[in-house]
Structure 1
């Protein structure tokens, strides 16, 4: 089943039209890139797909579930890394992970096991007891990606997560997410950076 289908999607704010009759399809296990300059509507589209906004027109389906008509099973398939950081700076890395797990109905034990696994994959498990504010920007983004994968979604949305990071941090995140596609994860990667569009080797 197709990971994401967007049909005839339009949205605006007041008299300003941001999206007009947009269509998009993301196939399972694919790495789809939403490329455009700042202000092009990428974050608005992400906000519509994740249910933060209600579209003025059109339909959004995630693995066959309409965001408008059946939002809960649709959103359950999603992991999201938003453009603006959403970690609690005064909580530890592990506390942020466990809190996210509780929101998705995971037991503390299961959330802890999954947190250790995802943090290890991104090379930040050794920082799990540190408060988030003690981490660099690149490490915080790694934690956010690990957190987004904690409940094992089938579809990951990443909105400008590499903006402001150094080249090596950007490449690490990009390579990791692309590797997840080879494991079957579907990804929508929103960016204004042309070099992130190049296919991996």
Structure 2
């Protein structure tokens, strides 16, 4: 088993407030894992630690075996990121946003062009390539952000609440597109969410986070069996009520 992401004993505090407490879990290569938790559970704090926006003195995060504290360049080179808050340049076209990302990763013009064509085709954006990002709807903008995160061909993709503000059909389309990345391209995905309907099936893995602690982890059937419930709603609803 190859581990794309290994989190061990991770803790973090904002002053006296503990945001994460001894968090440990793994993400296997070419798999889809949902970091599921109600708002305030610590998901975005974890995301900030995994992308080196924050640094924790307690615990470790390894990306394909590279510790992000001791080998940040090697670790982060294997990571693609889509943040919760949109980060596109709305005055650039779809293609210009992708070409700018390619330049930041040091790709030559020809190789950048090849990868841009691949991503435009993969996300159904070829006919929108010359449109400015501000003219596109929220779902298409998210597709651009995922395509941009894949320009350097990372084997691990982190997405922080990527469907916030999208309608249900658009959310489902995005979920399926990302699952297809796992199945067809062998990319490992960690998807943070507070929406249980974004877990696609029995092969998905879930890490259930509440009040900064991992409550359960495993495949969906494993998590349900351990809790003695028949569906995720029965497990998740009390945690969401506790957080409100």
Q: What TM-score, normalized to structure 2?
A: 0.80
Q: Which runs of 5+ in 2 are unaligned?
A: 204-244
Q: What is the aligned residue count?
A: 201
Aligned counterparts, 1:1-201, within 5 A? 1-182=2-183, 183-199=185-201
User: Equivalents in 2 of 1:169, 1:115: separation in Å?
Assistant: 23
For each residue in 1:59-113, what CA deviation from the matched residue of structure 2 results, as whole angstroms up to 9, or x when unmatched? 0000000000000010000011110011011111111101111111111221122
For each residue in 1:102-147, what CA deviation from the matched residue of structure 2 results, as whole angstroms up to 9, or x when unmatched? 1111112211221121121111121111111111111100111111
CA RMSD, aligned part only? 1.2
Change (3 A) 1:114 1:58: same
Q: Please tell me whether Structure 1 or Structure 2 has the larger radius of gyration of its CA atoms.
A: 2
Point out 4+ residue stretches in structure 1 off by more than 3 angstroms: none
Q: Which runs of 5+ in 1 are unaligned?
A: none
Q: Secondary structure at the match of 1:59?
A: strand
User: Equivalents in 2 of 1:38, 1:128: separation in Å?
Assistant: 35
